[in-house]
């Protein structure tokens, strides 16, 4: 595993989670984490230091705070609108009226080449139920929230990587504020409730 990592480093000049994932002859980042405890440990064994991956680890607490703050605001607003709301802190989901909203962070990355566009990555996570994804896109430094998006959870198979020009392909709907996202989710819940009511009336008529 380390030999393949050294060969990849020699070929690319640097290493990252995305570079390892895209290399067909190299084990996945998850396998390196499982075998060596972390990517940083594997890097250390081949004499490589990555400031980018260190930044990812160091900013992890900040991302958790961002998720919790947005979950609290979203959950409070939906509870006032629709009643009982369940928040799963482990899997970062909010359930209301049978709809599950999964909160995810979209992190920025750039290879330093001015000709290449910045890329944002959204991780699937261990548990992603059907429903909606409430995406929180960070700025280039991955410290400040840039904007938000909603998308069907079914569109996120493993991980989602997108640029500004490729967002339409994945059915992302963009919002400038949390309040805009909340209003969109309320409209979604309202349409779902209307459909349920129509089905009930139709069944009763039969």
**Domain ranges within the chain, ordered by starting residue:** 2-58, 60-205
Q: Which residue has the tokens 């972390």?
A: 38
In the prediction, which pLDDT does 53 show?
Answer: 54
Contact predicate 116/110, CB 8 Å = yes
Tell me which residues of the chain have a pLDDT lower than 50. 194-206
DSSP line for the chain: -HHHHHHHHHHHSS--HHHHHH-TTS--HHHHHHHHSSHHHHHHHTT---HHHHHHHHTHHHHHHHHHHHHHHHHHHHHHHHS-EEEETTTTEEEETTEEEEEEEEEEE--S-TTSPPEEEEE--S---SSEEEEEEE-TTSSSEEEEEEEEGGG-SSEEEE-GGGGGGGT-EEESSHHHHHHHHHHHHHHHHHHHHHHHHHHHH-
Provide the CB-side half-sphere exposure for 104 (13 A, CA). Answer: 30
Taking only the tens place, the pLDDT of each residue in 92-122 is: 999 999 999 999 999 988 765 666 778 999 9
């Amino acid at each position: 595993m380390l030999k393949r990592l050294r060969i990849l480093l020699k070929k690319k000049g640097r290493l990252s989670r995305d570079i390892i994932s895209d290399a067909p002859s190299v084990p996945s980042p998850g396998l390196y984490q499982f075998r060596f405890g972390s990517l940083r440990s594997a890097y250390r064994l081949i004499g490589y230091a990555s400031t980018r991956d260190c930044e990812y680890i160091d900013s992890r607490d900040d991302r958790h705070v961002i998720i919790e703050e947005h979950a609290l605001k979203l959950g409070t607003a939906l509870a006032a609108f629709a009643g009982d709301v369940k928040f799963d802190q482990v899997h970062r989901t909010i359930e209301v009226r049978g709809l599950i909203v999964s909160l995810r962070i979209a992190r920025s990355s750039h290879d330093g080449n001015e000709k290449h566009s910045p890329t944002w990555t959204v991780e699937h996570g261990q548990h992603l139920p059907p429903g909606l994804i409430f995406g929180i896109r960070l700025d280039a430094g991955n410290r400040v929230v840039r904007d938000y998006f909603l998308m069907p959870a079914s569109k996120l198979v493993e991980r989602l990587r997108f640029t500004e020009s490729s967002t339409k392909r994945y059915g992302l709907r963009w919002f400038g504020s949390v309040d805009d996202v909340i209003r969109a989710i309320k409209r979604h819940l309202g349409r779902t409730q209307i459909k349920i009511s129509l089905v009930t009336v139709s069944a009763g008529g039969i």
